[in-house]
Amino acid sequence: MYKYKELVKAVKTKAPVSQDSWRTGKEQNANIEVDGQCISRVTLPHQHGGTQEVKPGTQEAIRKQLLLDKPNFSEFIKCTLSREGYIRIMREKYTHTSL
C-alpha cells in the first residue's frame, strides 16, 4: 500500500503531464501526453494530509490510468522507474499508434 504523498509525488514528477492541464475540484485530473499526443487521463484523489494509505481499489484505478502493469507501477511509485523509463514503456506499448 502506498501513501497519498508518495503516489501524488510520483505522478506529478514522472508522468508526462503539462502543468496547465491539471484540473482541481473533488479530485485532481490531468492528461498524460507522449510526443504531443494524449494517451490517457489520470485522476488523483485529494491527499487529506498525505499520511493515509491509498485504498487498493483507488491504487488499481490509478495504475490502469497510467497504463502500467503491477511490477512497473510499483517501480514507478518507489522511484526506480524514471520519467524517461515511463515514456519509453508508453512508446513500446503503443508502437501501433503515432507516438
pLDDT digits (tens, 9 = 90+) for 8-65: 889 888 888 877 777 877 788 888 888 888 888 999 887 766 678 888 999 999 999 9
Residue 41 belongs to some domain of the structure: yes
The gap from C-alpha 91 to its chain's centroid, in whole angstroms, comes to 15
Residue 63 belongs to some domain of the structure: yes
Domains contained in the chain, number? 1
Residue 98 belongs to some domain of the structure: no
Residue 79 belongs to some domain of the structure: yes
Least Cα distance to 13 among 25, 23, 5, 1 occurs for: 5
User: Which residues constitute the domain of residue 31?
Assistant: 4-93
**Where residue 96 falls among pLDDT bands split at 50, 70, 90?**
low
Contacts of 16 (CB under 8 A, 6+ apart): 32, 33, 34, 83, 86, 87
